[in-house]
Amino acid sequence: MTKFGITILLAGLLVSAPASAQNANVDVRVDRLEQEMRAVQRKVFPGGSSRYFEPEITAERDPASPATSITTSAVSDLIARVDALEASLANLTGQVEENGFRLKKIEDKLAAAEAVPASPTALLPTPKPSAQAADAAPDPQRVAAVAAIIMPDSGDAAEDAYIYGYRLWDAKFYPEAQMQLKKMVEEHPGHRRASFAQNLLGRAYLDDDKPALASVALYENYQKRPRGERAPDSLYYLSTALVQLGKKDDACRVLAEMQDVYPEVAGGRLADSVASGKAAANCK
């Protein structure tokens, strides 16, 4: 690191000149400035190259002249230079703090971006955001109608949450039903009704013309709860969502898997649904 010429000049002043309050003040300020400048220089220029801070004050003493020949004007000039050095240090310190603040903001944004979870499966398409603004003002009449639907209170919180979601879906309040059914599954994932709620969530997306979201919800119900009571139904509705997305070959594969995994349900309770699903997908 470059050694400042301030030290050389002040050494000569302190040895030969009378000790005055003004010189002592300069000495203290220079010592403090040198320490602060070194700290700032280490932050901004870790390499410590001398090209960044060339000495602004150099010793220009004639060896043949006594030290007492230094005049008051030289001291005044030194003080002026120290003032300029203090101003430069303050400006540089401000830049370091500002750059640190900007870097912190960038790091926060990168951390938030890395926290976004990956897609659950490559088979299913990525849902597209709705074209309508999410913060649109709610319709007062709709709010009142939704509020009129009462959640049951049977003592079984999971059962009541599912029934309330079913009532919202049955009244065709699909967005509200979606929120309620997702909440029920999140809070009661091990309850018997979780299979019903996740399957109905997929149907609510289908009825709301959101087949991509429906495919994700229905596939997750089959994947996470293969022995759930509505897992076979989820495969059937998944084939319906895939047909709407133009993936008829995938829909046929889903129906074939449904027949392999749940032959009794596919050939019994859902036999008509399987037949209509194959016809819609043009399965061979």
Percent with pLDDT over 90 in the chain: 50
pLDDT in tens, 219-229: 999 999 999 99
Within 10 angstroms of residue 86's Cβ, the number of other Cβ atoms is 16
CA dihedral 48, 54, 58, 63 (to 10 degrees): 70
User: What per-residue confidence (pLDDT) applies to 191?
Assistant: 96
Give the CA count within 13 Å in the CB-facing half-sphere of 62.
6
What φ, ψ does residue 117 adopt, rounded to 5°? -70, 155
Instruction: Kindly report, residue by residue over 10-32, the tens digit of the pLDDT.
Output: 344 344 444 444 555 656 666 67
Mean pLDDT along residues 33-43: 64
Task: Decide: helix, strand or coil at residue 50.
Answer: coil
Closest CA to 257 of 276, 282, 244, 274: 274
Buried b (16+ CB within 10 A) or exposed e, 54-79: eeebeeeeeeeeeeeebeeeebeebe
This prediction's pTM: 0.54
Of 110 and 179, the one with more pLDDT: 179
pLDDT for residue 265 is more than 70: yes
- In this model, does residue 196 exceed pLDDT 60? yes
CATH of domain 143-281: 1.25.40.10
pLDDT recorded at residue 284: 86
| Average pLDDT over the chain, rounded to an integer | 76
Domain with CATH 1.25.40.10 in the chain: 143-281
State the Cα–Cα distance between residues 38 and 48, nearest whole angstrom: 9
For 53, phi then psi, to 5°, come to -130, 85
Amino acid at position 176, single letter: E
What is the rounded (10 degree) CA torsion for 151, 154, 155, 157? -40
Q: Which of 54-68, 145-159, 251-265 has the lowest mean pLDDT?
A: 54-68
Distance between CA 218 and CA 239 in Å, rounded?
A: 10
